[in-house]
Chain A
């Protein structure tokens, strides 16, 4: 069954040529020389004021990176990337350390205003929003401002840029950095480890429920500049934090590289909710330009009863290569992955998740919806595995995809590996086979099979998306109403 008209129109509204965030901010920048070698790594390290152990860490990663090869297994194709034809560091020029927002280049403030991200606390307070969000704004290679720091400090929450954390809280950074995504994890993660410039650091102490949503807004502005950010979130015993991430970039004819690493650590009884609205520049209608989004995101449910939940709405980037994963190490821990990926134009998406069950009684749930239109290719690639000791592991996976037009492709590549009999894994890609019990319940009350299915699936997705704050969820809101009628596995 082809897609319904309503869906077709909604997807068209977010087509690549409708990109709203394509403007360029004209400001003076400080750049590292083009290319990559040990000197550049040292240069970045010096710029960030790294302690010596950090510089060594980066250099070791760089040397390792030289021995690695680009991964080619993903279902994406692009011309070879010249890693020497890039700037690895670009920062807005500034006077010695701005102390308040008034000292920040007004052009940058204007940029964020245009993007709808308020950086002044009083503006946020005066606004109509009912919920407050603390923002870390990352502009090219540096974090320009982090809001609500004082208030968070009162609660004991540390929320700052990662470079600040390396200087101020080295004990935490040394303990946790690279403990979820090892330096040698993969080509792009290793590159990131060598040259990462900024990103956010969050530490929520024992028993604290973070008083507000935390968020980072990433903006690539400079030409030929790769953005390599690194995010590290630690939720100590019994704590809770919800973190949001948004990203945009100007319209440019050449491709830009974005290779981030995100590490989440949840200790006993802690919960981390990580939401992304990814809206990097997707390239134009002919497939020129756009951001290559090669990201490694992984969460480690290290403690008992911990929980990590990934929610992503993917509409941007020329190429997306991203698999937010959960390592369910602690007993009774829980991983979730909710994703909506919409591809248009010549976009290529290869995304999914990994749920690695190591502890007892661990559960995971994967809900993925892919919509491809135009000439795009949309692939779901996911792994669910249960270790021999993961007694009673449970997984439920549901991935649906929808094609609009006959020039695009939708692919599903699930890997399901079970090494214990008490694990129960279910993978399904039909909208007609959700949970027999739930369906039966709804149908018993007079709904048709199709209505009941729509109710269950959409009810689920809506529930997730509505938890995203408004300023990030413009696209997400539109997508909520997209029905997946006519979807294929």
Chain B
């Protein structure tokens, strides 16, 4: 029986040739360079994941990625100036702002100097070259070899942010990181954020991905490690226009008695995949994950998450809402793993989708893997059109059809947005939903 040797696609070839060409100018000391080479090798060995790889069954990157643009270079002064003028989707949110333009931190647009006591932050490129801080943390939460997209990030990351919140420090202002894709020509933007929240500390991280409709490829990784008794909120919004590719990975280690929440809101770009790997390593923690996706035209958005319960008495909740119009494709793959020692785990996962036309596709795969006998785990998945009865009720009260639909959809997605703790940020996300619905009508 002959082994099948896949032919390299144009995108694979481009990526394979990219690393040797750029590795000289990537930041980091010798250790980091070694890690990059290793990660790159594991990517090249496996190639782009395709539908035969179970985790990528519904998002066949081999088929979907036609080409790969060149790696983004440091933005010119003009580009930075232009970026300064961009409207901030989170305007009005009282936050510590950091700006990354084309994969490079712009110090002039970042609040490094305004950090309160007990909070430290560095641009990732500087931290990688300066040695131990970053290299000790890098890949600890999300090992590069576990996933090809992550491996690519580990090999090619140009910049990002390292933030440490010291023990028992409550950082009350969110850390808002704006990722701006400003260059006029498509480029590959690879960034990473490391957030360390030590025991008893609190922090909120908001990622805002913005673009101007150019078909950039983004690959973002966020590693968060939560100490015991920490409270961490994470928020991700992508409204970067219809073109381009956005691959992102969130890796989280949750300590004991922690509360971790992450909510992702997607309306862009044309192909996106957000993968979340959460590991509960301390008892009595609560993990809440949620998200909303609003897709139209031929957009494709994938949410893949794995919550791994390794210790007893943890609670996890997942709630994902997908709205699909035209010929869009939504993918939800969720997996709750309950390892043998993780007795008394309470896990609930729900994925709901509304199809607004006859063209869209929704693929749901809510998975459970349970090895402990005294647990409560449930998962649900529903998929269908808007409820005719409810629609009739609203129209009978005088609402025109588009408004009635918009009202129902806003409530539908709103349920997931309620998980967002920060009121101002939640309003901004709700605004994104409203804008999407307004554009539809």
Contacts and interface: CB of A to CB of B under 8 A. Distances in A.
A1 interface: yes
B381 A68 contact: no
A27 interface: no
Given A414-B367, A425-B381, A488-B376, 5 more contacts: A403-B370, A418-B383, A420-B355, A426-B380, A488-B378
B341 to A, nearest CB: 9
B1 A66 contact: yes
Interface stretch (A108-116, A189-197, A242-250, A428-436): A428-436
A412 B365 contact: no
A68 B384 CA distance: 38
Interface in B41-83: 54
Nearest to A403: B373
A422 B387 CA distance: 10
A152 to B, nearest CB: 44
B47 to A, nearest CB: 19
B361 interface: yes
A424 B383 contact: yes
A404 B362 contact: no
A488 B370 contact: yes
A141 to B, nearest CB: 26
B353 interface: yes
A401 B370 contact: yes
Contact of B361 (A66, A404, A418): A418
Nearest to A427: B381
Contacts of B363: 415-418
Closest 3 A-B residue pairs measured CB to CB? A421-B355, A430-B378, A403-B373
Interface in B5-23: none
Given A403-B370, A409-B371, A416 B383 contact: yes
A414 B376 contact: no
A233 B373 CA distance: 41
B368 A388 contact: no
Interface residues of A, number: 42
A421 B382 contact: no
Interface in A436-489: 488-489
A413 B367 contact: yes
B368 A422 contact: no
Given A66-B1, A68-B1, A424-B383, A417 B372 contact: no
Contacts of A68: 1
A489 B384 contact: no
B340 interface: yes
Contacts of B206: none
A410 interface: yes
A322 interface: no
Given A415-B364, A415-B365, A421-B356, A404 B373 contact: yes
Contact of A425 (B1, B356, B371, B382): B382
A421 B384 CA distance: 6
Interface string A196-228: 000000000000000000000000000000000
Given A73-B54, A404-B373, A405-B373, A423 B384 contact: yes
Interface in B316-337: none
Interface in A1-27: 1-3
B412 to A, nearest CB: 14
A47 interface: no
Contacts of B373: 2-3, 403-406, 408
Given A69-B1, A425-B383, A489-B379, A412 B362 contact: no
A158 B412 CA distance: 55
A377 to B, nearest CB: 9
A67 interface: yes
B366 interface: yes
A174 interface: no
Contacts of A417: 361-364
A365 to B, nearest CB: 15
Contact of A422 (B361, B369, B376, B385): B385
A383 to B, nearest CB: 10
Nearest to B54: A73
Pick the most buried of A73, A407, A413, A489: most chain B CB atoms within 10 A of its CB: A489
B375 interface: yes
16 contacts: A69-B1, A409-B370, A410-B370, A411-B367, A414-B365, A415-B365, A416-B362, A418-B361, A418-B362, A418-B383, A423-B384, A425-B381, A426-B382, A429-B378, A430-B348, A488-B368
B358 A416 contact: no
B39 interface: no
Interface string A342-384: 0000000000000000000000000000000000000000000
Contacts of A411: 367-370
A416 B381 contact: yes
Contacts of B385: 421-422, 424
A413 B357 CA distance: 27
Contacts of B382: 424-427
Contacts of A93: none
A373 to B, nearest CB: 9
A325 to B, nearest CB: 17
Nearest to A65: B1
Contacts of B54: 73
Contacts of A429: 368, 377-380
B374 interface: yes
A489 B368 contact: yes
A488 B355 CA distance: 29
B370 A430 contact: no
Contacts of A67: 1-2
B123 interface: no
B360 interface: yes
Nearest to A2: B374
Contacts of A388: 358-359
B414 to A, nearest CB: 21
A67 to B, nearest CB: 7
Interface string A381-401: 000000010000000000001
Nearest to B356: A421
A428 B374 CA distance: 20
B370 A428 contact: no
Nearest to B381: A427
Nearest to B372: A406
B357 A421 contact: yes
